[in-house]
Amino acid sequence: MIKVGLLGLGTVGTGVVRIVEGHQEDLLRQTGSPISIERILVQDRAKMRTVSVDPTKLTEHAYDIIDDPGINVVIEVMGGIEPAKTYILAALEKGKHIVTANKDLMAMHGAEILAKAAEKGCDVFYEASVAGGIPIIRTLVEGFSSDRITKIMGIVNGTTNYILTKMSQEGAAYGEVLKEAQALGYAEADPTSDVEGLDAARKMTILATLGFHAQVSLQDVEVKGISQITKEDILYGSRLGYTVKLLGIAERQDDHISVSVQPTMVKHSHPLASVNGVFNAVYVYGEAVGETMFYGPGAGELPTATSVVADLVAVVRNLKLGVNGRETFVPYKEKKLKSDEQIASKNFILLHVEDKAGVLAQITQIFAQYEVSLESVLQHPNPNNPKAEIIIITHDANRASMKKVLKQFESMDVIHAIKSVYRVEG
Amino acid sequence: MIKVGLLGLGTVGTGVVRIVEGHQEDLLRQTGSPISIERILVQDRAKMRTVSVDPTKLTEHAYDIIDDPGINVVIEVMGGIEPAKTYILAALEKGKHIVTANKDLMAMHGAEILAKAAEKGCDVFYEASVAGGIPIIRTLVEGFSSDRITKIMGIVNGTTNYILTKMSQEGAAYGEVLKEAQALGYAEADPTSDVEGLDAARKMTILATLGFHAQVSLQDVEVKGISQITKEDILYGSRLGYTVKLLGIAERQDDHISVSVQPTMVKHSHPLASVNGVFNAVYVYGEAVGETMFYGPGAGELPTATSVVADLVAVVRNLKLGVNGRETFVPYKEKKLKSDEQIASKNFILLHVEDKAGVLAQITQIFAQYEVSLESVLQHPNPNNPKAEIIIITHDANRASMKKVLKQFESMDVIHAIKSVYRVEG
């Protein structure tokens, strides 16, 4: 009998109880062991639950679980840094294996936790911390173990993807859709972490570390959220064949890496462009395998619990084989970040300019001066706007040059506003 | 030092050599062991190769590899049933671990090979046998180990997907596109195995066995190919919002399963609808996780070799841990096939009918008689055809009823032809 302690009985914890109890026979076949959730840490034992649990299993004291020598595995689904981190480290100290869904913790203190696990010969698995039900960590670590991954692009935040999908499909403004998402429970009352891209940045930290074998930290990720995206951006993008998505983008070239989260114009034909609503997807490019994409639910009670319990199955299989803690992932490459000269992408730029002869020539000359070549230029009068609008899509241009171009634009009288600048993919 | 014997140096074998030699340092980091391809079975030692190999490693005699006590792992990338099967069983008998990309062999004799592996305590891994570079076997066996999978739908044959994509995008006829695909090397001179759905059926046999934990055999798969698809089918499907794809479909309900390969009308909004060209994708529905999809290259030298070498990495990790042959997949559920009464789907039906009053009423009455309800009915004159055309899309209907409806149609004078019947998904 494998005895499990569960820290947290919120959405994901409830799903874990449902799957472990509902799939007993299948889990027994999969692992050769009956699995029992012995104790559950809750904030309030008296609270009503949507899942029926034996009330004697509930405790308000984490150390009832951590100090129980009968418990083999601790599943942490509380979220947040503390006290989750202290509990996990204490449980590892006692030789317990860990399954966690905690992206904040793994993004910020993953290295410390994995080092403690290696020291103690314990498993720490965290599939559910990125992209909910999509087994993307297994895919990176095992499925592509033979390949060199050079690019990972992820739609890894369901809230923002829901908002952007609605804005695209209904031509609605950001503020309206956010309110609707909050009413439906797809966005939090304080949506900052989602809409400013911080949640996605944490997940990209984990994916980049695994994919590139170098310890990427949250500070390395350049982050821009979706709150500045306008209806016009989405409309003009669509006319040119692009969909706006909040993408986490991790790239590697010659051992130099860059990681960012930003609203991106994604070409309609790219597999990420048709990932809609609260769904998540991770696109992985490997030197040998080429283009791949993994799609599924990024959150939710049962999808996330599926990944948590799959990790539990892996711990139990290792227990049977006596090989826990033997496959700890240790990044073996030195982290070198790309400079602005090394980061290149296509760009979408929307300018409001004076409507007179010669303006376009002046603008294109600036691009030429910094050796940024252009893929397409679209100038059209806007009936709602006395200024002319110019949309430019560049070829691949390095960021240093782009910054210089934009700086020049700021000082030009004929340019009234640099309305939007987006990275372009696909 | 892990010593590998390679059976076959065709497309995939060449890719394996390239990856193992090119990624030595990464593989050493991944596994803790240097890996060497010691000997390679070829048909003709004198043949020119696109990869440089030490000629002393080449042999024309399989037993130079099988009987070599220094070789730990045998990679089989010859394809076909014999002599691959004999060689693999002989290598297992000698205690060697096996990695194979052989879908024909695993679909038809997988159970026998896995049983021999279990007896001998050897690993047999075969990720590359389904969907080339997509790690779908790992995903089913490990990623979704905690869930109950109820549906697997795959675009698992690149040749037919290329042909159907071209037919859709260019309005071209099947025969023309097939010739073009043959000229480009995307289709074989004898394309039967691909275009008649047999290749897809073998892959679905493997996926259904793994997903449903019951030993599905090739005889259980109902197969229909793409050679009868017309330009009209694709055009009318498109107008109604569907794309024609050759789908392998494996379904489970209450432990009864069905597996088929057939051209299917897939709704444009379904993630499988936008999988184009030679790409593959496998859609997996789990009771807990919900909808997921895994997309990537289904064939090709380096993508397929990526999966082969990832399996090799898994064997080597197991060797280090001393746990080879301990996780053999054994189907533990009895196979029960669904009856026609238990198989339900939406259907697309194209009829040529007499253009006179009352015909539609007669037709819809037949559906009503067998309790098949209709989602939409479209009647329109075809300027190129003196007959009227009727397109009907049914709601979910069981196959027994559908067969009765179609049988009735055959005997009706007002129906000149049942031009097409397709399953509908999404």
**A271-284 pLDDT per residue, tens:** 999 999 999 999 99
CA-to-CA separations, A55 to A19, A46, A423, in angstroms, rounded = 18, 9, 53
- Binned at pLDDT 50, 70 and 90, residue A383 comes out as low
Out of B203, B245, B338, B346, which one is annotated catalytic?
B203
Helix then strand then coil, in percent of chain A rounded to 5, is 40, 30, 30
Q: What is the pLDDT of residue B384?
A: 66
- For residue A333, what are the β-bridge partners? A214
| Domain region containing A385 | 344-425
Nearest CA in chain B to A275: B271
Q: What is the pLDDT of residue A330?
A: 82
Q: What is the pLDDT of residue B201?
A: 98
Task: Compute the distance between CA of residue A264 and CA of residue A420 in angstroms, rounded to an integer.
Answer: 11
Q: Which whole number is the average pLDDT over A185-198?
A: 94
Q: What is the pLDDT of residue B385?
A: 64
Nearest CA in chain A to B327: A317
Contact of A139 with chain B, judged by CB distance below 8 Å, is answered with yes
**Least CB–CB distance from A310: residue in B143, B312, B317:** B143
- For residue B250, what are the β-bridge partners? B152, B259
Q: Residue B421 carries which side chain, given as an amino acid letter?
A: V
- Binned at pLDDT 50, 70 and 90, residue A355 comes out as confident
Quick one: tokens of A358? Answer: 């010669």
- Binned at pLDDT 50, 70 and 90, residue A327 comes out as confident
- Are residues A167 and A285 located together in one domain of the fold? yes
Q: Classify A298 as helix, strand or coil.
A: coil
Catalytic, B203? Answer yes
Quick one: tokens of B215? Answer: 């030993």
**DSSP code per residue over A33-89:** S-EEEEEEE-S-TTS--SS---GGGEES-THHHHT-TT--EEEE-S-SSTTHHHHHH
Give the 3-state secondary structure of chain B. CEEEEEECCCHHHHHHHHHHHHCHHHHHHHHCCCEEEEEEECCCCCCCCCCCCCHHHEECCCHHHHCCCCCCEEEECCCCCCCHHHHHHHHHHCCCEEEECCHHHHHHHHHHHHHHHHHHCCCEECHHHCCCCCCHHHHHHHHCCCCCEEEEEEECCHHHHHHHHHHHHHCCCHHHHHHHHHHHCCCCCCCHHHHCCHHHHHHHHHHHHHHHCECCCHHHEEECCCCCCCHHHHHHHHHCCEEEEEEEEEEEECCEEEEEEEEEEEECCCHHHHCCCCEEEEEEEECCCEEEEEEEECCCHHHHHHHHHHHHHHHHHHHHHCCCCCCCCCCCECCEECCCCCCEEEEEEEEEECCCCCHHHHHHHHHHHCCCCEEEEEEEEECCEEEEEEEEEECCEEHHHHHHHHHHHHCCCCEEEEEEEEEEEC
Q: Do A289 and B306 form a contact (C-beta atoms < 8 A)?
A: yes
Q: Which residue, B264, B123, B288, is CA-closest to B204?
A: B264
Task: Compute the distance between CA of residue B98 and CA of residue A393 in angstroms, rounded to an integer.
Answer: 51
Residue B1: CB atoms within 10 Å: 9
Task: Compute the distance between CA of residue A273 and CA of residue B374 in angstroms, rounded to an integer.
Answer: 32
- B380 pLDDT higher than 80: no
Q: Each residue of B227-273: pLDDT tens digit?
A: 999 999 999 999 999 999 999 999 999 899 999 999 999 999 999 99
Mean of pLDDT over chain B: 95
Q: What is the pLDDT of residue B19?
A: 97
Phi, psi angles (nearest 5°) of residue B161: -70, -35
Residue after which a domain boundary falls, among B256, B286, B321: B321
Q: Do B324 and B122 form a contact (C-beta atoms < 8 A)?
A: yes
Q: Is residue B124 part of a domain?
A: yes
| CB-facing half-sphere around the CA of A288: CA atoms within 13 A | 30
Residue after which a domain boundary falls, among A297, A332, A354: A297
Tell me the CATH number at B151: 3.30.360.10
Nearest CA in chain A to B315: A142
- B382 pLDDT higher than 80: no
- Residue for token digits 């679209």? A378
For residues A85 and A384, which has the higher predicted lDDT (pLDDT)? Answer: A85
Residue A48: CB atoms within 10 Å: 5
Q: Is residue B16 part of a domain?
A: yes
Q: Which residue, A133, A290, A286, is CA-closest to A210?
A: A286
- Are residues A162 and A283 located together in one domain of the fold? yes
**Least CB–CB distance from A288: residue in B29, B134, B302:** B302
Q: What is the pLDDT of residue A380?
A: 75
Residue after which a domain boundary falls, among B289, B321, B353: B321
Task: Compute the distance between CA of residue B308 and CA of residue B4 in angstroms, rounded to an integer.
Answer: 12
**DSSP code per residue over A353-373:** E--STTHHHHHHHHHHHTT--
Q: Please list, residue by residue across B68-89, b when 16 or more beta carbons sit within 10 angstroms of its beta carbon and e when fewer do.
A: beebbbbbbbbbeeeebbebbb
- Are residues A23 and A6 located together in one domain of the fold? yes
Q: Is residue A336 part of a domain?
A: no
Phi, psi angles (nearest 5°) of residue A222: -85, 130
Q: Which residue, A296, A305, A272, is CA-closest to B293?
A: A296
Quick one: tokens of A398? Answer: 């390095």
Q: Which residue, A110, A321, A127, A136, is CA-closest to B317?
A: A321
Contact of B323 with chain A, judged by CB distance below 8 Å, is answered with yes
Interface contact flag, B147 A291, Cβ < 8 Å: no
Q: What is the pLDDT of residue B48?
A: 87
Q: Do B106 and B289 form a contact (C-beta atoms < 8 A)?
A: no
- A224 pLDDT higher than 70: yes
- Are residues A196 and A286 located together in one domain of the fold? yes
Contact of B255 with chain A, judged by CB distance below 8 Å, is answered with no
- Are residues B162 and B118 located together in one domain of the fold? no
Task: Compute the distance between CA of residue A60 and CA of residue A338 in angstroms, rounded to an integer.
Answer: 47
Helix (H), strand (E) at residue A194:
helix A192-195
Domain count, chain B: 3
Contact of B310 with chain A, judged by CB distance below 8 Å, is answered with yes
Tell me the CATH number at A402: 3.30.70.260
- A326 pLDDT higher than 90: no
- B383 pLDDT higher than 80: no
- A373 pLDDT higher than 70: yes
Task: Compute the distance between CA of residue A139 and CA of residue B293 in angstroms, rounded to an integer.
Answer: 13
Out of A96, A203, A245, A338, which one is annotated catalytic?
A203
Q: Which residues of A touch B332 (CB under 8 A)?
A: 29
Q: Which whole number is the average pLDDT over A126-135?
A: 96
Interface contact flag, A303 B289, Cβ < 8 Å: yes
Q: What is the pLDDT of residue A333?
A: 92
Q: Do B128 and B329 form a contact (C-beta atoms < 8 A)?
A: no
- Kindly provide the residue ranges of all beta strands, DSSP E only, lying in A173-287, ordered along the sequence: 221-223, 242-253, 256-267, 279-286
- B49 pLDDT higher than 80: yes
- A359 pLDDT higher than 80: yes
Q: Which residues of B touch A313 (CB under 8 A)?
A: 142, 145-146
- Binned at pLDDT 50, 70 and 90, residue A22 comes out as very high
Q: Which residues of A touch B320 (CB under 8 A)?
A: 326
Q: Which residue, A344, A425, A346, is CA-closest to A393?
A: A346
Mutate one of A292, A313, A321, A334 to test the B interface: name it (highest B CB count within 10 A): A292
Q: Is residue B42 part of a domain?
A: yes
Interface contact flag, A148 B15, Cβ < 8 Å: no
- For residue B348, what are the β-bridge partners? B393, B422
Q: What is the pLDDT of residue B252?
A: 97
Contact of A267 with chain B, judged by CB distance below 8 Å, is answered with no
- For residue A52, what are the β-bridge partners? none
Q: Each residue of B319-372: pLDDT tens digit?
A: 999 999 987 778 889 999 999 999 999 999 999 999 888 899 999 999 999 999
Q: Is residue A330 part of a domain?
A: no
Q: Which residue, A147, A151, A149, A140, is CA-closest to A345?
A: A151
- Are residues B142 and B286 located together in one domain of the fold? yes
Interface contact flag, A143 B142, Cβ < 8 Å: no
**pLDDT more than 70, % of chain B:** 99
- B34 pLDDT higher than 80: yes
Contacts of B311 by beta carbon, 8 Å cutoff, 6+ apart: B99, B125, B126, B127, B128
Handedness of CA A136, A137, A142, A146 (dihedral sign): positive
Phi, psi angles (nearest 5°) of residue B369: -60, -35
Q: Is residue B334 part of a domain?
A: no
Put simply, the chain A residues between 332 and 391 with a CB less than 8 A from any chain B CB are 332
Q: Each residue of B159-190: pLDDT tens digit?
A: 999 999 999 999 999 999 999 999 998 899 99
Task: Compute the distance between CA of residue A178 and CA of residue A195 in angstroms, rounded to an integer.
Answer: 9
- Are residues A166 and A293 located together in one domain of the fold? yes
Helix (H), strand (E) at residue A206:
helix A198-212
Q: Is residue B214 part of a domain?
A: yes
Count A/B contacts: CB-CB distance under 8 Å.
174
Q: Each residue of B262-318: pLDDT tens digit?
A: 999 999 999 999 999 999 999 999 999 999 999 999 999 999 999 999 999 999 999
Q: Which whole number is the average pLDDT over B197-202?
A: 98
- Are residues B9 and B146 located together in one domain of the fold? no
- Binned at pLDDT 50, 70 and 90, residue B8 comes out as very high
ipTM of this complex prediction, to 2 decimal places: 0.94
Helices B158-170/B174-184 angle, 10° precision: 130
Q: What is the pLDDT of residue B58?
A: 97
Tell me the CATH number at B62: 3.40.50.720
- Are residues B30 and B95 located together in one domain of the fold? yes
Tell me how close the Cα of B385 comes to any Cα of chain A, in angstroms.
Answer: 35
Q: Is residue A329 part of a domain?
A: no
- Are residues B195 and B241 located together in one domain of the fold? yes
- Are residues B293 and B305 located together in one domain of the fold? no
Interface contact flag, B139 A142, Cβ < 8 Å: no
Q: Residue A75 carries which side chain, given as an amino acid letter?
A: I
- Are residues B100 and B10 located together in one domain of the fold? yes
Q: What is the pLDDT of residue B290?
A: 97
